Structure 1
Amino acid sequence: MSDSVSKSNLQKLTAFDIKLIAFSLMIIDHVGRLFFPQVTILVILGRLSFPLFTWLAAQGEKYTSDIKKYVFRLLIWGVITQPIYAKFSYLIFSVSSELNILFTLALGVITIRCTKLVESKLFKFLIVIAFMIIAELLRVEGRMSAIILIYLMSIINLQSAKWWFFFIGYRLLFIYLNQWSYVELFGIASVGIIALYNGEKGGRSKPFYKWFYPLYPLHLGVLLLIKWWLNSQIN
């Protein structure tokens, strides 16, 4: 009894709370990359956001009453966001051809749903591989590594050593193969936030509940305007 009470006391975050945290960390990451690229702590904090978004997408797939509507909403906002994201991505990475995270999440959600249509572990594996290839061909943000992460978040089990083995192993493998910075390792710590999830959705009574999708392109646009204004002051 005491163990269950202690556990429930620790798990105080709703899915809405975790969404707020994910968005806040994402904004910190984008502000850091655009204005303070030399401040490593901002990028480190930002590395926690993407795993949280993949977990939220997996939760969305699990509990949505209309999977087509859910994926369609992600794709529509992805299309709306893309021109702004392309400009933002070019300023930071000198690359503007990849598709933004909303396309990634939509592809990941479709991957999860397709794996649930089959029983065979081999077929599940082949489905994930197929969507990893699609992610590379479409050049979505995060590419194949993001698809793996979204799928792992759909079968997350923090009490399973096997799950941890695959989760940490996957992170280390892609950091090595892509020669990513060591700061990518800090993304593993995002699981600590997920561990505080209390199983509740939350946020229904909050006025900004439906504003998360437009908030993504909106914050990118605001940051670009600030960057443009600062550059105009310098010149």
Structure 2
Amino acid sequence: MSDTVSKFNIPKLTAFDIKVIAFSLMIIDHVGRLFFPQVAIFVILGRLSFPLFAWLAAQGEKYTSDIKKYLFRLICWGIITQPIYSQVYYLVFSAPSELNILFTLALGVITIRCTKLVESKLLKFLIVIGFMIIAELLRVEGRMSSLITIYLMSIIDLGSAKWWLFFVGYRLLFIYINQWSYVELFAIASVAIIALYNGEQGARSKWFYPLYPLHLGILLLIKLWLSTDMNLP
């Protein structure tokens, strides 16, 4: 894939660039779900966002100088975001919300770090299974499917047939078991973006954390305003 990129002079991306792309795709997803639920392209593009965030979280775990501070930021902003997220989730799905993506990412980072503490492949497997169960019990966004994605992004190897087998296979399995829409398959295309990574971090910024609840809050206010305006006599 890298040879193809070089052949066609496709620009390489820093981790910061990928973060901007992931965040933009997530906003598109949220706009679509809130305002254009019948337009599939919004959700299709949105499916690319989480694997990118999963990869970024795995990169964060790998390169952070202080894992405790990294997890603290994720969890604190997750707590701040949750009331807004719950309102948006209810408007979209008419059901009690899960814990938002920041909790999912935090749990994934903990999973990755715990697997690095043991050498045995069996123990690594059991640790991942254990955290998959925890993801279900805590009802984090995406639950065990997202947990698997984050872990797979920590061992990503685009040249490995085994890795691709797991990455594509588990998505097909969850689509079948949960009777998810076919659009979930488009998440696989996110790997093409990751393949453009140039190995550099790029600009350093923590704007993702406050911008996550901020964009949800703005979309929620617009949705409520539109709903109120439509109900006026």
Task: Give the TM-score, by structure 1 length.
Answer: 0.94
Distance 1:168 1:156 in 2: 13
Larger mean CA deviation between 101-110 and 86-95 belongs to 86-95
C-alpha contact 1:104 1:142 (8 A) present in aligned 2: yes
Measured after TM superposition, the shift of residue 50 of structure 1 is 0.6
Match of 1:228 in 2: 224
Distance 1:110 1:184 in 2: 25
Measured after TM superposition, the shift of residue 211 of structure 1 is 1.3
CA deviation map 1:99-119 (0-9, x unaligned): 000000000000000000000
Match of 1:31 in 2: 31
Measured after TM superposition, the shift of residue 4 of structure 1 is 11
Match of 1:173 in 2: 173
Q: Does 1:215 align with 2:211?
A: yes
Distance 2:171 2:230 in 1: 40
Match of 2:187 in 1: 187
Uncovered stretches (5+) of structure 1, i.e. residues with no partner: none
Measured after TM superposition, the shift of residue 65 of structure 1 is 0.3
Distance 2:18 2:140 in 1: 23
2:197 counterpart letter in structure 1: Y
Distance 1:76 1:162 in 2: 36
**Identity across aligned pairs (percent)?**
83
Measured after TM superposition, the shift of residue 97 of structure 1 is 3.4
CA deviation map 1:181-227 (0-9, x unaligned): 000000000000000000000013xxxx2211010000000001001
Distance 2:8 2:78 in 1: 36
1:217 counterpart letter in structure 2: P
Measured after TM superposition, the shift of residue 6 of structure 1 is 2.8
CA deviation map 1:36-95 (0-9, x unaligned): 001101110000001100000000000000001101110000000000000000000112
Measured after TM superposition, the shift of residue 233 of structure 1 is 1.2
Distance 2:5 2:166 in 1: 30
Q: How many residues align?
A: 229
- Give the 3 Å change call, closer, same or farther, for CA 7–152 of structure 1 in structure 2: farther
The RMSD of aligned alpha carbons is 1.5
C-alpha contact 1:11 1:198 (8 A) present in aligned 2: no
Helix, strand or coil at the partner of 1:118: coil
- Give the 3 Å change call, closer, same or farther, for CA 172–12 of structure 1 in structure 2: same
Q: Does 1:99 align with 2:99?
A: yes
C-alpha contact 1:8 1:198 (8 A) present in aligned 2: no
Measured after TM superposition, the shift of residue 231 of structure 1 is 1.0
Helix, strand or coil at the partner of 1:201: coil
1:23 counterpart letter in structure 2: F
- Give the 3 Å change call, closer, same or farther, for CA 45–169 of structure 1 in structure 2: same
CA deviation map 1:152-179 (0-9, x unaligned): 0000000001100010001100111110
Detail structure 1 runs of 4+ shifted over 3 Å in the superposition. Answer: 7-11
Distance 2:6 2:220 in 1: 45
- Give the 3 Å change call, closer, same or farther, for CA 7–82 of structure 1 in structure 2: farther
Match of 2:16 in 1: 16
